[in-house]
Amino acid sequence: MPYSLYLSLNILIQSSGYSLLYEELLSLVYDSLSGLYKLKKLVYVLLDGVGDRPNPDLNNITPLEAALTPNLDILARQGVTGMVCPVSKGISPESDIAVFSMLGYNVLSEYPGRGVIEAIGLGCDFKNGDLAVRGNFATLDKNGAIQDRRVGRNLLSSESQALSQEINEQVKLSFNANFTLTPSISHRAVLTIDLPEGNLSGMISNTDPAYDRIGNLGVVKEGNTNIHIQDSHPLDNKKNSKLAAQLVNEFSRKAIEVLKNSTVNKKRIDSGLMPGNAILLRDAGSELPIISSLNSRLKRKCACIADMPVERGVAKIIGIDSYAAGDLRNYVHKARKTIELLNKYSIIYVHLKGPDEPGHDGDSKKKKRSIEEIDSDFFGTLIPKLNLNNTGVIVSADHSTPCILKGHSSDNVPLLISGGFTSRDSVCRFTEKLCSSGKLGQLNGTSVLSKAIKIIEIDHK
C-alpha cells in the first residue's frame, strides 16, 4: 500500500469524527486495502556470469555499461539497486553453489556437491554412499598438458555420447567397482561410481587443476597456471575417501588410454578439430542432502526455467518444478514461458546462460551483444506483459565472469529489485558501477529473495 494512501486514510478518518475508533478504523481500512497492493507474483532472473570488470576493448567500461539495455533501464528507474556477494567474500563460485546461495540456502551446511547436483539433474542412478563427480571432456597436447578444458567448445553432444559409450564399454575398475560416465551437454559429463559392498566418500580433491575445494564447495582458482591433470587425494583419513580417490585416479588414467584410440577423436583430428582425449573431474559428492523445500521456506509455490542439468538438479533438490523453454538462447520463448507459468506459480526463477560463455572466451564485445539480446528478447517480451503493481522482478547474477580473466571471479554482482510499490533510488541503469551506489548497499546472496519479498510488499515509504 503506497505511503501516500496511508496518510490520506489517516487524515480522512481523523476528520470523520470517529476519534474513539480511530486506531481500529485505520487498522481495518489499511489491512483491507493493503491486500490489493500486496505482491502477487515474483520473477527472479539470474544472468549467468554477467558481472565484469572494465575492459580495454570497450573503452575501459564493462559489457553491462557498454550494452544498450532500454528494458533493464525501465526496471532500474522503477526500483532499487545494490550489490551482492553471491556466496562469501573471497570465493570465486561456480554457478551451482552460487545459485544455491542466491536461492537462500546455506552452502556450507546444506550443499551436497556439484557431482551430486548434476547426477540428479541427469537422472543418474545415485544413492547415498555412491560417488558422483562432475566431468569435462578436455584436450591434452602431445606432452600431456591441458590444451583446452572444453575441447574447443565445439564437441557435439552426439560425440560426447559416443566417447562416453566407448569408456563405459572398455574401462574396468578395481574392487569390482561399477561406474557409469553419463554425457550431458557438449563437453560436460558426470561420473558415478558404486561399490557392491561398502560406501565411497566424496571428500576427495579434484583432478581438474582449474578448480579447488572448500569443504563441499567447488571454487575457481583465480590466476591458476597449472596446466596438467592432478591426482585426486583424500581430504581426510577415512578409508572410503582413500578408496574413492584411488578409483577416480584409476578411471582417469584408463579413460585417457581409451580416448587415444577413439574413432570419434580420429574423425575430429582429421577434420582439424581438437580431440576429447581426457576427462577432468571435480566437485565429488556422496550424500543426498536433507533440506526443506523452497516452497515451504518462502510459503509460496515456486518453479524455475532451467536449461542445464545442474539447474534441473538444484530444482529437484530444493523441491520445485522445473521447465524447459527452447534452446539456451531462445529468450523470447523463455519470456513467454515465464508469463505462462505466472498463472500457476507465485515465484518463477529463470537462469539465463548467455553472458557466461563469452566471459570465459575473453570476448567482451560478444558478451555485450549477449546482454543486449537478453534485454531485447527476454525483458522486451516479458515487461509489457507484467503488471508491475503486483509483480516484482529481481535481476542479478550468479557470479562475475570478467573477460580479462576468462573465468569466474570473487567480485560482487549487481542487483535490481523492481515492481510492487518499492521505493526508488537514483540509479537508472543495471550496471556494476551504478548499482554499487544503490539504496540497498551490499547484500549476501542468501538474503536476496527474502529481502526482495519484504521490500516489494512493505516498503511503501
Give the tens place of pLDDT for each residue, 144-201: 999 999 999 899 999 999 999 999 999 999 999 999 999 999 999 999 999 998 899 9
Is-contact 403 433, C-beta < 8 A? Answer: no
Same domain, 99 and 208: no
Q: Each residue of 73-89: pLDDT tens digit?
A: 999 999 999 999 999 99
CA–CA distance, 214 with 202 (Å, rounded to integer): 12
Whether the pLDDT of residue 111 is over 90: the answer is no
Beta strands 41-47 and 178-183, pairing class? unpaired
What is the domain count for the chain? 3
Domain termination site, one of 264, 285, 306: 285
Whether the pLDDT of residue 131 is over 80: the answer is yes
Same domain, 79 and 142: no
Instruction: Look at 280 and 460; give whichever has higher pLDDT.
Output: 280
Task: Look up cell 496518510; give the residue.
Answer: 7
Domain termination site, one of 266, 285, 304: 285
CATH number, domain containing residue 375: 3.40.720.10
Task: Look up cell 470523520; give the residue.
Answer: 16
Same domain, 21 and 165: no
pLDDT (average), residues 225-239 = 91
Same domain, 378 and 420: yes
Position 300 scores a pLDDT of 92
Whether the pLDDT of residue 246 is over 70: the answer is yes
Same domain, 54 and 32: no
Length of the chain: 461
CA–CA distance, 457 with 38 (Å, rounded to integer): 5
The mean of the pLDDT values for the chain is 89
Longest CA pairwise span in the chain (Å)? 92
Same domain, 427 and 373: yes
- Packing angle of the helix pair 114-121, 95-102 (nearest 10 deg): 80
Same domain, 327 and 203: no
Domain that holds residue 429: 41-108+292-458
Strand, helix or coil for residue 69 = coil
